[in-house]
Chain A
Amino acid sequence: MNTAPSSRSPLALLVGVNLRQGWRRLLALRRQSRLLSTMIVLFLVGYAGMAFKLFQIGLRFAGSFPGLGPVLIERMVFLLFAFLFVLLLLSNLVISYSNLFRNRETAFLLPLPLPPEVIFRWKFIESTLLASWAFVFLVAPLLAAYGLHAGVPWHFYPATLLFIALFIALPAAAGAWLAVIVARWLDRRTFQITTLVLAAAGLAWLAFQLRPVEMSEEALETRVLVVLDSLLARTRFALFPLLPSYWLSAGVQQWAEGALAAAGFFGLVLLSHVLFFGTLLCTRMGRRFFEAVSHVQSRGSALGAWGWFRAWQERRRRWRARRGGLEVLLGWVPGVPPDVRALLVKDLRLFWRDTTQWAQSLVLFGLLAVYILNLRHFSTQLTNTFWVTVVAYLNLGACALNLATLTTRCVYPQFSLEGKRLWIVGLAPLGLPRVLLAKFALGTALSLGLSLGLIVLSCRLLQLPWDRTLWYAATITIMAFTLNGLAIGLGALYPNLKEDNPSKIVSGFGGTFCLVLSFVYIVGSVLLLAFSSPWHPTGAYRAGTFVAWGVFGLLSLLLGWLPLRWGRRHAERFEY
Chain B
Amino acid sequence: MIELQHLVKRFGDLVAVNDVSLTIGRGEFFALLGPNAAGKTTTLKILVGLMKPTSGSARVAGFDIQRQPLEARRRLAYVPDFPFLYDKLTPREFLRFTAELFRMDPARAAARAQALGARFHLESYLDLPIESLSHGTRQRVAIVSALLHEPEVFIMDEPMVGLDPHHARVLKDVLKEQALAGTTVLVSTHQLSVAEEMADRIGIMHQGRLIAVGTGEELRERSGTRGALEQTFLALTAGGPATPAAAAAPAAAGP
- Please state if A298 and B84 are interface contacts (CB–CB under 8 Å): no
* A/B interface sample: 18 pairs, CB < 8 A: A1-B109, A1-B113, A5-B96, A10-B101, A13-B97, A21-B87, A21-B88, A21-B89, A24-B129, A25-B88, A102-B254, A111-B48, A111-B49, A114-B70, A188-B254, A294-B51, A298-B253, A300-B14
Q: How many residues of chain B have a CB within 8 Å of chain A?
A: 49
Which of B4-12, B21-29, B213-221 is the contact stretch? B4-12
Contact of A111 among B10, B52, B73, B254 (CB under 8 A): B73
Q: CB within 8 Å of B: which of A1-29? A: 1-6, 8, 10, 13, 17, 20-21, 24-25, 28
Query: Once bound together, how far apart are the Cα atoms of A294 and B51, in whole Å?
Result: 5
Query: Once bound together, how far apart are the Cα atoms of A339 and B9, in whole Å?
Result: 40
- Please state if A298 and B114 are interface contacts (CB–CB under 8 Å): no
- Please state if A5 and B109 are interface contacts (CB–CB under 8 Å): yes
Which of A128-136, A179-187, A340-348, A556-564 is the contact stretch? A179-187
- Please state if A191 and B102 are interface contacts (CB–CB under 8 Å): no
Contact residues in A for B255 (Cβ distance below 8 Å): 97, 182-183, 186-188, 191-192, 355-356
With both beta carbons as reference points, the residue of chain A lying nearest to B78 in the complex is identified as A111
Most buried by A among B52, B86, B101, B103: B101
Given A1-B106, A294-B51, A296-B254: 9 more A-B contacts, CB < 8 Å: A1-B113, A5-B96, A111-B49, A112-B73, A113-B74, A192-B255, A291-B52, A295-B253, A300-B13
Q: Is B56 interfacial (CB-CB < 8 Å)? A: no
Q: Is B93 interfacial (CB-CB < 8 Å)? A: yes
Query: Once bound together, how far apart are the Cα atoms of A97 and B83, in whole Å?
Result: 21
Q: Interface digits, A434-462 against B, CB 8 Å rule (1 contact, 0 not)?
A: 00000000000000000000000000000
Kindly provide the distance from the CB of A108 to the nearest chain B CB, expressed in whole angstroms. 4
- Please state if B78 and A1 are interface contacts (CB–CB under 8 Å): no
Q: Interface digits, A283-314 against B, CB 8 Å rule (1 contact, 0 not)?
A: 00000000101111111110010000000000
- Please state if A301 and B12 are interface contacts (CB–CB under 8 Å): yes
Q: Name A's interface SS.
A: helix
- Please state if A300 and B249 are interface contacts (CB–CB under 8 Å): yes
Q: CB within 8 Å of A: which of B7-66? A: 9-14, 45, 48-52, 54
- Please state if B52 and A300 are interface contacts (CB–CB under 8 Å): no
Q: Interface digits, A164-193 against B, CB 8 Å rule (1 contact, 0 not)?
A: 000000000000000000110011100110
Q: Is A498 interfacial (CB-CB < 8 Å)? A: yes
- Please state if B106 and A3 are interface contacts (CB–CB under 8 Å): yes
Q: Is B238 interfacial (CB-CB < 8 Å)? A: no
Given A296-B254, A298-B9, A355-B255, A1:B52 Cβ within 8 A: no
Given A1-B106, A5-B104, A108-B84, A293:B253 Cβ within 8 A: no
Q: Interface digits, A500-520 against B, CB 8 Å rule (1 contact, 0 not)?
A: 000000000000000000000
Contact residues in A for B96 (Cβ distance below 8 Å): 1, 3, 5
With both beta carbons as reference points, the residue of chain A lying nearest to B9 in the complex is identified as A298
Q: CB within 8 Å of A: which of B68-112? A: 70, 73-74, 76, 78, 80, 83-84, 86-89, 92-93, 95-97, 99-104, 106, 109-110
Q: Is B250 interfacial (CB-CB < 8 Å)? A: yes
Contact residues in B for A8 (Cβ distance below 8 Å): 100
Query: Once bound together, how far apart are the Cα atoms of A490 and B9, in whole Å?
Result: 45
Q: Is A71 interfacial (CB-CB < 8 Å)? A: no
Q: Is A115 interfacial (CB-CB < 8 Å)? A: yes
- Please state if A5 and B250 are interface contacts (CB–CB under 8 Å): no
Q: Is A206 interfacial (CB-CB < 8 Å)? A: no
- Please state if B101 and A13 are interface contacts (CB–CB under 8 Å): yes
- Please state if A297 and B74 are interface contacts (CB–CB under 8 Å): no
Query: Once bound together, how far apart are the Cα atoms of A356 and B255, in whole Å?
Result: 8
Q: Is A107 interfacial (CB-CB < 8 Å)? A: yes
Contact residues in B for A183 (Cβ distance below 8 Å): 254-255
Kindly provide the distance from the CB of B131 to the nearest chain A CB, expressed in whole angstroms. 8
Q: Is A415 interfacial (CB-CB < 8 Å)? A: no
Query: Once bound together, how far apart are the Cα atoms of A5 and B113, in whole Å?
Result: 14
Kindly provide the distance from the CB of B16 to the nearest chain A CB, expressed in whole angstroms. 8
Most buried by B among A108, A111, A299: A111
Kindly provide the distance from the CB of A398 to the nearest chain B CB, expressed in whole angstroms. 29
Kindly provide the distance from the CB of B125 to the nearest chain A CB, expressed in whole angstroms. 15
Query: Once bound together, how far apart are the Cα atoms of A13 and B113, in whole Å?
Result: 19
Query: Once bound together, how far apart are the Cα atoms of A186 and B254, in whole Å?
Result: 8
- Please state if A297 and B50 are interface contacts (CB–CB under 8 Å): yes
Query: Once bound together, how far apart are the Cα atoms of A405 and B109, in whole Å?
Result: 48
With both beta carbons as reference points, the residue of chain A lying nearest to B83 in the complex is identified as A108
- Please state if A297 and B250 are interface contacts (CB–CB under 8 Å): yes
- Please state if A1 and B92 are interface contacts (CB–CB under 8 Å): yes
Query: Once bound together, how far apart are the Cα atoms of A338 and B84, in whole Å?
Result: 37
Kindly provide the distance from the CB of A39 to the nearest chain B CB, expressed in whole angstroms. 24
Contact of B89 among A17, A108, A191, A300 (CB under 8 A): A17
Kindly provide the distance from the CB of A462 to the nearest chain B CB, expressed in whole angstroms. 39
Contact residues in A for B99 (Cβ distance below 8 Å): 1, 5
Query: Once bound together, how far apart are the Cα atoms of A111 and B101, in whole Å?
Result: 12
- Please state if A113 and B52 are interface contacts (CB–CB under 8 Å): no
Kindly provide the distance from the CB of B153 to the nearest chain A CB, expressed in whole angstroms. 11
Q: Is A204 interfacial (CB-CB < 8 Å)? A: no
Contact residues in A for B254 (Cβ distance below 8 Å): 101-102, 183, 187-188, 296
- Please state if A299 and B100 are interface contacts (CB–CB under 8 Å): no
Given A1-B106, A101-B254, A294-B52, A304:B12 Cβ within 8 A: yes
Most buried by A among B11, B78, B255: B255
With both beta carbons as reference points, the residue of chain B lying nearest to A291 in the complex is identified as B52
Q: Is A74 interfacial (CB-CB < 8 Å)? A: no
- Please state if B253 and A299 are interface contacts (CB–CB under 8 Å): yes
Contact of A298 among B52, B80, B103, B106 (CB under 8 A): B52
